[in-house]
């Protein structure tokens, strides 16, 4: 990513859990521990009853002694706002020189005392929801290197997880691959990225171009998808990301139990076949050779006895590998990519 328009987070991270007890609200911290444990030096909990991520409990002072560079807010709050009670902790961390990394809705720099503490120590206040300045309009020009994008017929259906799992398994297979993050948790995991849905609409495809720049011919960017081409609120975001990413291949994330759009129940969900066809049709604009390379299936709501039949049926229908990445991993998709796309 161009040096001028990226933010790079500095590990090791101290993960702020506070008093949170509910794993649902700690998805960010849990995702970081799951996908990049090497970036985590510890957790900061206000209370022994708070959720335990299985990493060392450290005070700010102890974290600094162990080399921490950033305090990452790892929990969401109701309404997405920073609790006032956290400010003294954040100020202490910033004063001690830790970058503060937040995905909250209110901006760190809006807290005058915190901004002043950071200014004095040279720590950075990084709101990962804020896109970098200076993003260009998309050119549509072909770039070198290869790209895979995860897509779906709805939001919140596993696009980030599928991209991370595919990236992991491509690396394990010895391929040269980079995970490219487009949302806040993904950015914290990757340590860099662009929060694509916060970009001004004219610049979203350009942001996607910046996110996966020219690369070596055998290099693969695995790009975290956002939204859905079939979503009445977010389809434009997804189309810009598709066009700017110019993927050689896309993985469709699919939940066979979902019949309507989550939170938009007045919309029924597109079929897997429709989802593949529309992505092929719309993706051809910037990459005529685009193809679907696999289906990532969430089988968690199926009885164990029906799981395998479901995956086989999808493969039969589509001619593509179908895996539940949580259970099967993505090796079948990696193999398909090597056979069908690499040549």
Contact set with a second copy (CB under 8 A):
137-141, 196-202, 204-206, 230, 232-241, 243-244, 264, 266-267, 278, 281-282, 285-286
| Peptide bond connecting 7 to the previous residue in cis, omega within 30 degrees of 0 | no
| Beta bridge mates, 100 | 71, 125
Say how far apart CA 85 and CA 58 lie, in whole Å.
Answer: 19
Exposed, middle or buried by CB within 10 Å (0-12, 13-18, 19+), for 25? middle
Distances in Å between the Cα of 318 and the Cα atoms of 152, 313, 314 are 15, 9, 6
* Of 11 and 236, CB closest to a second copy: 236
Complex with a second copy: residue 266 or 301, whichever CB lies closer: 266
Shortest Å, Cβ 271 to a second copy: 14
We find the least distance from the C-beta atom of residue 154 to a second copy, in angstroms, to be: 12
Task: Identify the helix (H) or strand (E) that includes residue 26.
Answer: none
Which residue, 213, 238, 211, 234, is CA-closest to 223? 211
Contacts (Cβ under 8 Å, ≥6 apart) of 235: 227, 228, 229
Q: Please state the closest distance from residue 286 (CB atom) to a second copy, in A.
A: 5
Q: Quick count: other Cβ atoms within 10 Å of Cβ 324?
A: 22
| Chain-centre distance for alpha carbon 104 | 16
Tell me the closest approach of the beta carbon of residue 232 to a second copy, in angstroms: 3
Which residue shows structure tokens 């001690």? Answer: 96
204: phi then psi, degrees, rounded to nearest 5: -70, -45
Smallest separation, CB 292 to a second copy (Å): 18
Taking the complex as a whole, how short is the minimal distance between the CB of residue 206 and a second copy, in angstroms? 7
Beta carbons of 32 and 40 less than 8 angstroms apart: yes
Cβ distance to a second copy smaller for residue 186 or 191: 186
* Residue whose CB is less far from a second copy, 48 or 288: 288
Residue 83 to residues 58, 115, 248: CA-CA distances in angstroms? 21, 16, 43
- 55 vs 237 by CB, closer to a second copy: 237
At a CB cut-off of 8 Å and minimum separation 6, what does 323 contact?
A: 294, 295, 296, 297, 311, 329, 330, 331, 332, 333
Q: Which helix (H) or strand (E) holds 293?
A: strand 291-297
Least Å distance between CB 328 and a second copy?
Answer: 32
Closer CB to a second copy, residue 266 or residue 316?
266
Closest distance of CB 205 from a second copy, Å:
6
Nearest CB to a second copy, comparing residues 159 and 168: 159
Is 42 or 131 the residue whose CB approaches a second copy more closely?
A: 131
Q: Minimum CB separation from a second copy for residue 152, in Å?
A: 15
* Backbone torsions φ then ψ of 38, nearest 5 degrees: -65, -15
Tokens 């997405």 belong to 80
Residue closer to a second copy, measured from CB, 20 or 197 = 197
């Amino acid at each position: 990513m161009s040096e001028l328009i990226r933010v790079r987070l500095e590990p090791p991270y101290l993960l702020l859990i506070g008093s949170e007890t509910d794993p649902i609200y700690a998805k960010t911290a849990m995702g970081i521990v799951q996908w990049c444990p090497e970036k985590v030096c510890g957790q900061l909990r206000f209370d022994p009853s708070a959720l335990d991520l299985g990493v060392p409990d450290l005070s700010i002072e102890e974290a600094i002694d162990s080399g921490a560079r950033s305090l990452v807010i790892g929990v969401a709050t109701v309404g997405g706002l920073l609790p006032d009670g956290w400010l003294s902790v954040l100020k202490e961390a910033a004063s001690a020189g830790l970058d503060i990394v937040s995905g909250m809705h209110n901006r760190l720099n809006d807290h005058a005392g915190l901004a002043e503490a950071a200014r004095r120590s040279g720590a950075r206040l990084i709101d990962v929801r804020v896109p970098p300045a200076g993003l260009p309009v998309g050119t549509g020009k072909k770039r070198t290197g290869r790209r895979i994008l995860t897509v779906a017929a709805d939001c919140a259906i596993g696009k980030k997880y599928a991209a991370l799992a595919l990236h992991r398994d491509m690396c394990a297979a010895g391929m040269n691959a980079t995970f490219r993050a487009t949302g806040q948790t993904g950015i914290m995991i990757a340590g860099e990225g662009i929060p694509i849905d916060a970009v001004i609409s004219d610049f979203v495809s350009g942001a996607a171009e910046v996110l996966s720049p020219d690369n070596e011919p055998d290099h693969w960017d695995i790009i975290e998808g956002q939204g859905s081409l079939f979503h009445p609120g977010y389809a434009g975001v997804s189309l810009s990301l598709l066009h700017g990413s110019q993927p050689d291949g896309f993985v469709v994330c699919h939940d066979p139990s979902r019949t309507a759009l989550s939170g938009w129940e007045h919309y029924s969900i597109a079929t897997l076949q429709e989802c593949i066809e529309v992505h092929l049709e719309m993706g051809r604009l910037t990459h005529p050779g685009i193809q679907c390379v696999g289906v990532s299936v969430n089988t968690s709501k199926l009885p164990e006895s029906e799981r395998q039949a479901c995956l086989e049926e999808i493969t039969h229908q589509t001619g593509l590998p179908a895996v539940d990445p949580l259970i099967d991993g993505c090796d079948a998709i990696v193999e398909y990519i090597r056979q069908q796309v690499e040549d």
